[in-house]
Chains A and B, each alone.
Chain A
Amino acid sequence: DAGVTQSPTHLIKTRGQQVTLRCSPISGHKSVSWYQQVLGQGPQFIFQYYEKEERGRGNFPDRFSARQFPNYSSELNVNALLLGDSALYLCASRPRDGYEQYFGPGTRLTVT
């Protein structure tokens, strides 16, 4: 079975630009979460969506937004990019029964 997929793999943007990252969950999983991981730190929670509704938001500015589509895939958008947004962005999906989450390979974003 395919795992969580994310695109693109790598991305280089300039300060002030906008970026959209994409994620497809494991088949049958309806919950998608986004995390940001900067070098030397554990992943930090950004958003969780379930059945197209936002179920939680971490301590990130309003420049970060997300949505989930009817097929349960998801997009993360970041506006007005800052150098500090450079990180690995991870998407994870969760089965209906259980709290564990399974991660995709991530999108490595570099802001110059």
Chain B
Amino acid sequence: RKEVEQDPGPFNVPEGATVAFNCTYSNSASQSFFWYRQDCRKEPKLLMSVYSSGNEDGRFTAQLNRASQYISLLIRDSKLSDSATYLCVVTNILTGGGNKLTFGTGTQLKVEL
């Protein structure tokens, strides 16, 4: 079983639609949670952190359910520029005291006219 599981998509949605991505993680000791966005052949870029209390940044809302080990991302009023791959990411503490990011395979979003 993968540590972080996501539906790979693609999700094809019309401009203005609301789209939701889900993710589950297997390590209950995971410390922090993020959504990253990755455009084709580019590096991942931090989209937002995810908290149990939920957090919102403009059209984007992220939520964490620690009991279910479930993370979500909601995008409202989709724009063409939202087309990208969205990566669900958890952090785990390393034995040497550092931390590593563990990524899902990503969910591809295509927003169409």
> Which partner residue on chain B sits nearest A102 by CB separation?
B46
In the complex, what residues of B have CB within 8 A of residue A50's CB? Answer: 97-98
Mask of A94-109 contacts with B, CB within 8 angstroms, 1/0: 1000011111111000
Give the interface segment out of A12-20, A36-44, A77-85.
A36-44
Of B46, B95, B104, which one neighbours A42 at CB under 8 angstroms? B104
Instruction: Kindly provide the distance from the CB of B35 to the nearest chain A CB, expressed in whole angstroms.
Output: 11
> Which partner residue on chain A sits nearest B2 by CB separation?
A42
What size tier do the contact residues of chain A reach? 20 to 34
Q: Is B1 located at the chain interface by the 8 A CB criterion?
A: no
Asked, given contacts A55-B94, A55-B96, whether A45 binds B102 with beta carbons under 8 Å apart, the answer is yes
Q: Indicate if the CB atoms of B94 and A56 lie closer than 8 Å.
A: yes
> Which partner residue on chain A sits nearest B36 by CB separation?
A103
Q: Is B14 located at the chain interface by the 8 A CB criterion?
A: no
Q: Is B53 located at the chain interface by the 8 A CB criterion?
A: no
Q: Is B105 located at the chain interface by the 8 A CB criterion?
A: yes
Q: Indicate if the CB atoms of A43 and B103 lie closer than 8 Å.
A: yes
For chain A, residues 47 to 106, give those with C-beta under 8 angstroms from any C-beta of chain B.
48, 50, 53-56, 58, 90, 92, 94, 99-106
B residues lining the A interface (CB < 8 Å): 4, 31-32, 34, 42-46, 49, 87, 89, 91, 94-106
A44-B103, A99-B99 are known contacts; what are 10 more A-B pairs with Cβ within 8 Å?
A33-B98, A42-B87, A42-B103, A42-B105, A43-B103, A50-B97, A56-B94, A100-B46, A101-B46, A103-B43
